[in-house]
Amino acid sequence: MQERPQVSASFRPPAALDWLDAISESNAILSAILAVIHPMLYESGWKTVEKLRGNPEVDPGGVVLSRWASVFSGVSVISNRTTPPHRDGNSRSCWYEILVTLGRYRDCNLELPGLEMSLEYGPGTVVGISGNVLEHAVPSFEGDRVCYAYFMRDDVHEWAEIAGNDWMHVKYYD
């Protein structure tokens, strides 16, 4: 069994809890998007979050997880940075990450080198991507840009003993 996960210490200050409250509706919407594009992964994520909430050692007092309105086990906030080509190695190949890009910027593309694709990546864009499989990058932009990258961690699901290692199938919609 994996080591027990812990809520990040960066979520302890009151300002961080206020931020979680402020993004709770967006988190719920992004979770709902995952429910549409990969229903089984959504269910797996939800079960994992429930198991985390049910373990008082993960979040003593339940202060953070009671405000966590997402099926994803984490979010990274990337502010005003370009991103070199990379793959995200801490999740499973068949899992989706959700990328949300916001701000006042222009001339930005999400590059997918392995597919030889470049997608317009303007403010308000939401992308579901298998970041473990598809190399991706944001090489440049002009202005102020923030990207919220929502993800699930393989080790958290292993700790929770929650399955979720299946690719999306059309049969999930039957």
At 2-15, the pLDDT tens digits run 678 888 877 778 88
| Structural domain boundaries in the chain | 75-150
Measure the CA–CA gap between 114 and 138, rounded to whole angstroms: 14
Pairing of strands 83-86, 109-112: unpaired
| Residue 71 pLDDT | 97
| Residue 2 pLDDT | 62
Given a cut of 90, is residue 77 above it in pLDDT? yes
CATH class entry, domain 75-150: mainly beta
> What's the mean per-residue pLDDT of the chain?
91
77: β partners: 148
| Residue 174 pLDDT | 67
Given a cut of 80, is residue 171 above it in pLDDT? no
User: How many C-beta atoms surround the C-beta of residue 1 within 10 A?
Assistant: 7
Given a cut of 80, is residue 144 above it in pLDDT? yes
Radius of gyration of the chain (CA): 16
